[in-house]
Chain A
Amino acid sequence: MPEPHADATTQELARRMAAVVGEANCVSDPGGLSVYECDGLSHGRVRPRLVVLPASTEEVVEVVRLARAAGVPIVPRGSGTGLSGGARPTPGCVVVALSRMKRVLEVNLEDGWVRVEPGVINLDVTRAVAGRGWYYAPDPSSQSICSIGGNVAENSGGAHCLKYGFTVNHVLAARVVLDGGEVVDLGGAAPDTPGYDLLAALVGSEGLLGVVTEVTLRLLRRPEATRTVLATFPSSDEAGAAVSGIIAAGILPAAIEMMDTLAIQAAKAATGLAWPDQGSLLLMDVDGPLAEVEHTARRAIEIARQAGATQVSVPRDEAERQLMWKGRKSAFAAVGRISPNYMVEDGVIPRSEIARVLREIGRMAAEAGLRVANVFHAGDGNLHPLVLYDARNPGEEERASRLGGDILRLCVKLGGSITGEHGVGAEKAAYMAEMFTPDDLETMALVRCAFDPETRFNPDKVFPTPRLCGEQPGPYRPHPAEAAGLAERW
C-alpha cells in the first residue's frame, strides 16, 4: 500500500495499477520502492512514484495506458545491472520492471532462433539450448544476472563481440509497446522485412522508445574448437603491439582482453591465479573449425612472442580455461579488494591508439593523484578504466569523477566513443554534446519523437538537454485542483 500521505494521484494510480498487475506486483511502500532507486550505478538514487511488475504484453499495455492517462513518465527496467544509470528512476515515474516476464516462449533450431520474454537472463538463453550444441553469442560480463530486455535496451556486447557482434546483430524480431498502448512487431523470422529497420533503432535505444515485451534472438552453433591463449608482457606497449600484430595478420579472434598491472593484481587477489605481478596481460580466444583455430592460435602465439611476451600459456583443460576467464570477468569486482571505492568507465578508442592512450591515462591519473586500473576489450579498443578512490578523503570522489570525464574526452578526441557497451543513460548524457553536434542530437531526437512523441519513456536519459517533440502538447502539468487532491485526471 502507498504511504498514507502519498498524494492522491499516486494513490489512485497505485490502485489502478494493482488492478492490472495484482496487489503483490504493484510496489508503493517506501521499503519496496527503495530497492528500485538505482541500477548498477549506485549513486544518484531517485525513489520512483511506483514500481509495477507486469506479467504479459497485455498487462504492459494497460500499465502504459494508465501512466499516460495520469501524465506520468515510465522507466523500463530489466535486472538493474546497467552501469550508466539507464534504469535510474526519473522523479515521479512509474518503474516498469520486466523481471516477472521470464519465459522462454519458443525454440526453433531449424531456423536458429529462440523467442523469449524480456526478463529472461542472458545466460539462461544459452542454457535452454546448450544441450543441443547451440548458444547465444553476446556475453556481457554480467550475463549470469542481466536480462535480455536490458541487453536489447543497451545493445550489450561482451568480450566475444569482436568476432560475433553485438546484441543488434543477434535480434531478429521484437514486440514493443508504444506510448499510445499500441503493440508493434518489428523484424521477423524471415530476413529483410520490407520497410525501415526500426529494430536497429530500437536496439540500443536505452528504454526511450517503448517497452519491449518479446524478443526473438538468433542462436549460433557452438564452434567446433576454442583455443585460449594467455600472454604476459613487460608493459602495455608490448601488449598493444601484439594486439595490432595479431589483427594485422588477418586473424579475427573471438576475443582479446587486456589487463594492466593494477587490474592483474586485483584479479589475483580475488581468484588466487598465478599471474605475474608486473606488466600487462592479454587473454585471447580463437574459435571456429579445428584446423583454422589451431593455425590461428599458433600464429597469434608467434606474434605475441615477437612483440615481446615474457610468458605464453595455454590452459591444460576447460577448468583452467574457465579460471582464466573468471580472472578477467571478475576484474571489476576484484578491484574492490585493492580500493575502498572505484568508478567504472567505458570509452572506446581506435585500436591502434591503445598503448599511447594507456600512457596518457597513466599521466592523467598521476596528475590527479589517483590510481587507474585498466581492464578492457583490446580487440575493439573498448577501454574500461577503473578509477580508484577513497570516498572518505574529502574531494577525492570529485577528482575521480573529473578524471573519468577527462578520459572520455580523450576517447572522443581520438575519434572514439564515450561508451562502447554500458550506454549513455543518466551518467553520460552530459558528454553526448562532446561527441555529437546539436544537429546530430536533434536528428536522433526526431527518431525518438516518432516513437514516443510525449517523451514518456525514460525521459531524462541519453540526451544532454531535455527536449520536447514539436507539434505536440507540452509536458503534463497537474491542474491546481488536481494537485490539491480535489480532482483526478482519468
Chain B
Amino acid sequence: MSGLRPAGPEDAILGVAPRSVVEPASVDEAVEAMQACARDRLRVAFAGGGTLLGLGAAPTGLDVLLRTRRLDRVVDHAPSDQIVVAEAGLTLDALQRALAQHGQRLALDPPFGARATVGGIVAANAFGPRRTRFGTARDLIIGVTLVRADGVRATGGGRVVKNVAGFDLPRLLVGSLGTLGLIVTVTFRLHPLPEAAATLVLSRPAASKVRALVRSLRDAQVEPTSTLLLAEGGALRLGVRFEGFGPGVRQQGERLAALASAAGLACEWLDEAGAASFWARHDAVRTGGPVRVRLAAPPSALEPVLRDAVAPLGEALSGGGAVLDPLVGCGFASGAPADAAAAVARLLSARQALVALGGSLVLEAAPPEVRARVDAWGPPPPALDLMRRLKARLDPEGRLAPGRFVGGI
C-alpha cells in the first residue's frame, strides 16, 4: 500500500494503536488503500478530525488507521439547487465558510467545527443545538459514496433532495461509526443563512415547571431552530433561538417573552455577543471534561431525566454540566469525575433510568477506569441480530473498526 507510515501514539483509538497509518489524498487513493487492506486482510478504522474517537467501544484490534484529512475538497456546490458534495475529510468550518459565500449553510452545528469533518459527523451522528428544527445528518444527507470492506466503491442516494430510487445507503451510514464502510464523499441538502436571529434565555425555571413551559412553547406555534436546557451547578437556563426573517423572528421572540412572563420567569433577549456566548457555553458544557455522554429519552420524560440522570451525574462530575433539547428528548452530560467509582455508579444508575424510560446513555468519552465498568453502548437494541446480519453482509471478515459498535459489532 502506498503512502503507509508507521503509527505513533496519537494514532491510537481508545488505547488501541494501529501498526500503520495511511492518509489518502484522493478518493481513488482511498479506494486503493481499502483494496490493499482487503488483500492483506488488515483491520482498519477511520478517523476524521478525531473529535469523537471516544464514541463507542475500543476496537478489538487494529492494523491500519485511515485518516481522511487530506480528502478535504468541496467537490461541487450548486447554490441554486441548495446542495453540496464534499469529501469526507473536509472540516465543518471550512465547508460552512465556502457555503456562506453564497448565503447558505449546512444546518448541522456540532462542537469542534474547526476539526470535525463531514465524514466523521455522519459516521458518528454528531449534531448540535439546531437539531430542534433541522434534525440530524439523517435529515440532511442525500447522497454518499463509500468504499466497502472489499475495496468496492459504491454510491447511494443522489444529488437531488427528493429521490426514492434504491435503498437508502446514505441514511444507513449515519451513526455507523466506520463499521460498514469508509465514507469518501457526502452530499447534503443546504439551507439559506437566516436574515435575522434572536436568542432568548429564561433563567432558573424550576425543574417541575420546565415541562409545562415546553408544552406552552409548542402550543404557541413558534418554530425555534434551537431549544436548549442548560444545567450547570444545579441551576437551569432555557435558551431558545429563532432564525428567519426579521418580522417573524421578532414576533416569535415576543411570544416567548410573554410566555416567560406568564410563568413568572425572567427572560433576557440576548444581543449578538450574548447569544454567541450562550451557544458557545452549550459547546463547553457538553464537552467539559474527560467524561462525556449522550442522553436520550422521550421528551415527556423531562422530569425523571433531570432527577434521575442529570442531577446525579452533576454531583459525580465536576466542571461540566448537561444540555438537553426538551422538544427532541436528546442531550449530553459531561465533567471530570472526582471519584471514578462514584462516577461509575452514577453513570450506571442514570443509564438504568434512561433505559427504563425507553431511552439510552452512550459514552462519547471516558477514562479507562470508567470504561472498564460502563459499557459504551448499554443494553443491546432489540434488532441486534439483524444489525449483525447487516454487518456480516457488508464486512464479512469483520475488519472494519472491529468491536467499536453496539453488541461488539
Taking Cβ atoms with an 8 Å cutoff, the residues of A that contact B are: 108, 110-112, 133, 154-155, 157, 161, 165-166, 168-169, 178, 182, 184-186, 188-198, 200-201, 203-205, 221-224, 244, 247-252, 288-296, 299, 348-352, 377, 380-382, 415-424, 428, 432, 435-437, 439-444, 446-451, 462
Instruction: Give the complex CA separation of A34 and B60 in angstroms.
Output: 56
* Residues on A with beta carbons closer than 8 Å to the beta carbon of B296: 190-193
| Contact B172 A221, beta carbon cutoff 8 Å | no
Task: Pull 9 A–B residue pairs with CB atoms less than 8 Å apart, ordered by A.
Answer: A161-B162, A188-B358, A190-B298, A192-B294, A194-B360, A248-B79, A292-B245, A295-B247, A350-B160
Does A200 lie within 8 Å of B174, measured CB to CB? yes
A451→B383 CA distance, assembly (Å) = 11
Pair B358/A449 contact, Cβ less than 8 Å: no
Which among B161, B171, B195, B301 has the greatest number of chain A C-beta atoms within 10 A?
B161
- Given A417-B165, A418-B165, A289 and B103 touching (CB < 8 A)? no
A349 to B78: give the CA distance in the assembly, Å: 13
A244, B245: Cα distance in complex, Å? 18
Would you call B406 and A292 a contact (CB within 8 A)?
A: no
Q: Which residues of B contact A (CB under 8 A)?
A: 78-83, 103, 125, 135, 138-139, 146, 148, 152-156, 158-169, 171-172, 174-176, 180, 191-195, 215, 218-219, 221-223, 244-252, 255, 294, 296-301, 328-330, 354, 357-360, 362, 377-378, 380-387, 389-390, 392-394, 405-407
Contact present for A416 and B392 (CB under 8 Å): no
Find out whether the CB atom of B387 lies under 8 angstroms from the CB atom of A196: yes
Tell me, in angstroms, the Cα distance from A440 to B168 when the chains sit together. Answer: 11
Pairwise interchain contact B381-A194, C-beta atoms closer than 8 A: yes
B161 lies within 8 A of A110 (CB): no
Closest to A172 in B: B298
Whether A192 lies near B247 (C-beta < 8 A) is no
| Given A185-B382, A244-B80, A292-B247, A194 and B406 contact (CB-CB distance below 8 Å) | yes
Given contacts A432-B165, A440-B166, contact A186 B155 (CB under 8 A): no
Task: Let me know if B163 and A186 touch, CB within 8 A.
Answer: no
What's the count of A-B pairs with C-beta under 8 Å?
Answer: 266
- Which residues in A have their C-beta under 8 angstroms from that of B294? 192
Out of B138, B155, B223, B255, name the residue touching A197 (CB < 8 Å).
Answer: B138
A195 touches B406 (CB 8 A): yes
CB-CB < 8 A to A195: which residues of B? 377, 380-381, 383-384, 387, 405-407
Cβ–Cβ contact A111 & B300, under 8 A: yes
In the complex, A116 Cα to B405 Cα: how many Å? 31
Q: Using Cβ atoms and an 8 Å threshold, which residues of chain A touch B193? A: 250
Question: Which residues of A sit under 8 angstroms from B387, Cβ to Cβ?
Answer: 195-196, 198
Docked-complex contact B359 and A292, CB < 8 angstroms: no
Known: A184-B383, A420-B164. A440 touches B298 (CB 8 A): no
Most chain A CB neighbours (cut-off 10 Å) among B195, B247, B377 = B247
Whether B360 lies near A381 (C-beta < 8 A) is: no
A439 is contacted by which of B154, B160, B168, B328 (Cβ under 8 Å)? B154
For A200, list chain B residues within 8 Å (CB).
138, 168, 171-172, 174
Taken together as a complex, chains A and B put the C-alpha atoms of A201 and B390 apart, in Å, by 11
**With A and B bound together, what is the CA distance between A198 and B169 in angstroms?**
10
List 18 other contacts, CB 8 Å, given A224-B221, A380-B161, A420-B163.
Answer: A111-B299, A178-B386, A190-B359, A193-B360, A196-B172, A196-B175, A197-B138, A221-B219, A248-B79, A250-B194, A252-B192, A290-B251, A380-B162, A381-B161, A424-B166, A436-B166, A443-B152, A446-B393
Residue from B168, B362, B390 in contact with A204 in the complex, judged by beta carbons closer than 8 Å? B168
